[in-house]
Structure 1
């Protein structure tokens, strides 16, 4: 009996895995994380980059000094590079997972390792982005930080209206 239940469970997982991997290509699934709440949503990571870019774009309105701008530009550039590397690494890891689970009798240990690799990539990226965000925010005065938050709030309202 246990053998039958195990076989049915594995069959269900095997048939479902390719369907779930294809769901990430669906428009409604774009920008959504894997159910870890809003902080693990990759859209949140993009908003961190938006915040930095917005500060640089609206430097005069925010009252940023030349010294602040000189310190922010390299941080923003590094963040953009890290974002590009993250996307590439994540895509490769997801392809590797798909390659593993496409087989009828896939190796569950290999699949577990691949999933952990994906989560490790996401976690490392999230921590990198938080570090950059913290570094950027320490350059802002309290008033500049309030202005930045107001701009981000207005921008998110604009996106919600679309």
Structure 2
């Protein structure tokens, strides 16, 4: 019963997606991916903003090392963690894009295979979930490096950045590399 309900809900969601705009499935998915890049939407898009922001903690720690009061030993521990997080994020973006393309390919025909589409949607959800969990694990590890006072300062900086991000008081597309990452 639960499986039938899940398939029915997935079918309804896919039907809404397929018939909401009279355009081929490929163009609909292309439009959705461009919306995601803007990150200014509501609901799930807004949720993705927060998920992306939590992955920025290591970079913010390095960028604001002096404000937070990080020592050399702490910086040495954070730099490799930050690099690994950047690599994982790049893999996530690539895997997600491939999974979205695979879904577009399945939906490209008029009478697409609903079961294949269902599996593709689940694969996309699994990729996102795994990335979110990896970010949480990395964040927990990063927080063990900080003292309680440093954590409070970092939390304040993050809330300020989130506030700026929500109000649009930031420069889109301009992400400068951490100055600590550029030092050898």
TM-score range, shorter chain: 0.7 to 0.9
1:157 aligns with 2:163: yes
CA offsets, 1:28-65, max 9 Å, x none?
77337995586xx3322321232211111111221111
Within the candidate set 94, 104, 114, 1:98 is matched to 104
CA distance in 2, matches of 1:32, 1:104: 32
- 1:14–1:84: structure 2 CA closer, same or farther, 3 Å change rule? same
CA distance in 1, matches of 2:84, 2:28: 33
| Mapping for residues 45-124 of structure 1, pairs under 5 Å | 45-124=51-130
Counting matched residue pairs gives 152
Q: Is the 8 A contact 2:39 2:45 kept in 1?
A: no
TM-score by length of 1: 0.80
Unaligned runs of 5+ in 1: 1-8
User: In the alignment, which residue of structure 1 is the partner of 2:39?
Assistant: 31
CA distance in 2, matches of 1:132, 1:125: 11
Report the more deviating stretch, 88-97 or 54-63.
54-63
| Mapping for residues 5-24 of structure 1, pairs under 5 Å | 14-16=18-20, 18=25, 20-24=28-32
Unaligned runs of 5+ in 2: 1-11, 170-184
TM-superposed CA distance for 1:130, in Å, is 0.4
